[in-house]
Structure 1
Amino acid sequence: MTLLDPRHPFFRPLWRRVLIVALCFAWALFELVTGAPVWALLFAALGGYCAYLLLITFDPQPPDDR
């Protein structure tokens, strides 16, 4: 079981995947600026995980479930 399923149809458009990654890193920056480094690290790690799954290793082809 993964935190999110990159094969879900919701993640097919590129703009959604980029937006999710950007929101994670933006929230990490917000937490860092407000003085919560632990939460900033958590959201930065989440952003890195999302970037890896949704941008780097993303396969745009739907799985063949025949």
Structure 2
Amino acid sequence: MRFTLIDPSHPFYAPLWRRVVIVVVTLGWAAVEFATGNLTWGILVGALGAYCLFKLILTFDPAGAGDSD
């Protein structure tokens, strides 16, 4: 079993709107952290948002979502 932070093959991530909301919330929270002067938290949450964007939007395979491996 391989550890992954986000498993895009899980059925929860199948709807596009859920994936978009996750990305928007994480990147939005990073913007809030930067705006309030919290550079460290802004970088951490921004990196998480970038990872979510990569895994859930850019490289998402709709055929793999919903499979029960």
- How many pairs were matched up? 65
Instruction: Give the aligned residue type for 1:48.
Output: A
Partner of 2:52: 50
Cα 1:2/1:35, change in 2 over 3 Å: same
CA distance in 2, matches of 1:13, 1:59: 12
Superposed CA RMSD: 1.4
**TM-score in terms of structure 2 length:** 0.87
Q: TM-score, normalised by structure 1?
A: 0.91
Unmatched 5+ stretches in structure 2: none
Identity, % of aligned pairs? 51
Cα drift, residue 9 of structure 1: 0.4
In structure 1, the gaps of 5 or more residues are none
Separation of aligned partners in 2, 1:64 and 1:33:
41
